[in-house]
Structure 1
Amino acid sequence: MSAPKESVWEYPRPPAVEPVAEHVRVEYAGRVVADTRSAFRVLETSHPPVYYLPPDVVPAGLLRPSARRTLCEWKGQAAYWDLVAGGRISREAAWSYPRPLPGYEAIAGFVAFHPSRVDRCLVDGETVVAQPGGFYGGWITSRVTGPFKGAAGTAGW
């Protein structure tokens, strides 16, 4: 029996953080760059979930710090990472919150990957579809329904 569908419009604001035991995998340049059953999902109104993976599941040397920083009103300042593997570089393919704001301490240092900037992300064997647009990094699976924020014309949602 499949899991019930989740509408992203029923996700809370401010966002919720929940641990998941799903098998989460990220692939890039012909290799597995992250693989875990110990991730967190961040659930925010109008967005597909973002998966945050423990930093120790990413092999050393694959993530190179980027100068980019952004600010989330809920989670705080995000630091970005370039992914370097197999002679390829994916700029700002990942981000983390080194010192998140109160309520988001569980994801401190955990790494989120932007599905459109890697070759493939999977949740329990299902290939993820990237959230529309280039800014947000939500992971769309058959488990979630939209519409999703991120596409042209949705900035004011």
Structure 2
Amino acid sequence: MTQDEWDQLEMARSQWRWRGNDRPAFAEPTAPGQVSVWDFPRPPELVREEREIVVRWGVLEVARTRGAWAVRETAHPPTFYLPLCDVQQVLLRPVGGGSVCEWKGPARYWDLVQGDQGLAQVAWSYPQPLAGAEPLAECIAFYAHDLHCTVGGAEVVPQAGSFYGGWITPDLAGPFKGGPGSSGW
């Protein structure tokens, strides 16, 4: 990365108010068996996820794993990065464009394609992640909006908004970044 790109990343990192050190007054209380997304740190942490994760596109199984990485960041439900070896890679087609995460680096986007059917930019990866996110290099994450996803058998609700890819499960307390009025979280 160029010095200008590093400076932009550092500026983005410095803007975050909530960093998992305390909960805002509007944080939901946790029920038994729940964790608050407001206790997740910023910068985010990578945690090995042992629960089985399944991703389906209609009746087609796209992925199944017990070796995912959960990226846990303040105010976000976890984003799950599945090892590429546990994904039906024949269904993936790289697409142009991308974005940059101030914590994980430059992202590459993917379509799901089978025959004449497809889902555009439904997945992303970090083939050359920044320091601290190296385990994600051989993984891919999926937006749950048009897919049926489960974590440990629990149905996933997609994080609100078109940019964030977190998966909301019953073991989480929010509110979650992505909805109206949450851009400063």
Deviations 1:10-69 (A, max 9, x none): 000000001111100000032100001111100000000000000011123201001121
Structure 1 or 2, whichever has the larger Rg, is 2
Counterparts of 2:74 and 2:153 in 1: how far apart (Å)?
25
3-state SS in 1 of match to 2:89:
coil
Structure 2 counterparts to residues 1-157 of structure 1, below 5 A:
4-85=33-114, 87-118=116-147, 120-157=148-185
Alpha-carbon distance in 1 for matches of 2:81, 2:116: 25
Change (3 A) 1:86 1:4: farther
**How far did residue 154 of structure 1 move?**
1.1
Using the alignment, how far apart are the partners of 1:39 and 1:27 within structure 2? 16
* Identical residues among aligned pairs (%): 47
Structure 1 pair 30–78 and aligned structure 2 pair: CA distance change class (3 A) = same
- Mark the runs of 5 or more structure 1 residues left unpaired by the alignment: none
Counterpart CA distance in 2 for 1:109 and 1:150 is 26
Cα offset, 1:156, TM superposition: 1.7
Q: Which runs of 5+ in 2 are unaligned?
A: 1-31
Identify which range, 121-130 or 84-93, moves more after superposition: 84-93
Deviation for aligned residue 1:145: 0.8
Rounded Cα–Cα distance in structure 1 between residues aligned with 2:133 and 2:163: 20
Alignment root-mean-square deviation, CA: 1.5
Give the helix-richer structure, 1 or 2. 2
Question: How far apart, CA to CA, are the structure 1 residues paired with 2:116 and 2:60?
Answer: 12
Moved over 6 A (4+): none
The 10-residue stretch of structure 1 (52-61 or 138-147) with the greater mean CA deviation from structure 2: 52-61
Determine if contact 1:48/1:140 at 8 Å carries over to the other structure. Answer: yes
Question: Following TM superposition, by how much is the alpha carbon of 1:86 offset from its aligned partner in structure 2, in angstroms?
Answer: 5.9
The number of residue pairs the alignment matches comes to 155
Distance 1:128 1:65 in 2: 25
- C-alpha distance in structure 1 between counterparts of 2:52 and 2:89, whole Å: 21
TM-score by structure 2 length?
0.80
Q: 1:81 to 1:98 in 2, by over 3 A?
A: same
Give the strand-richer structure, 1 or 2: 1
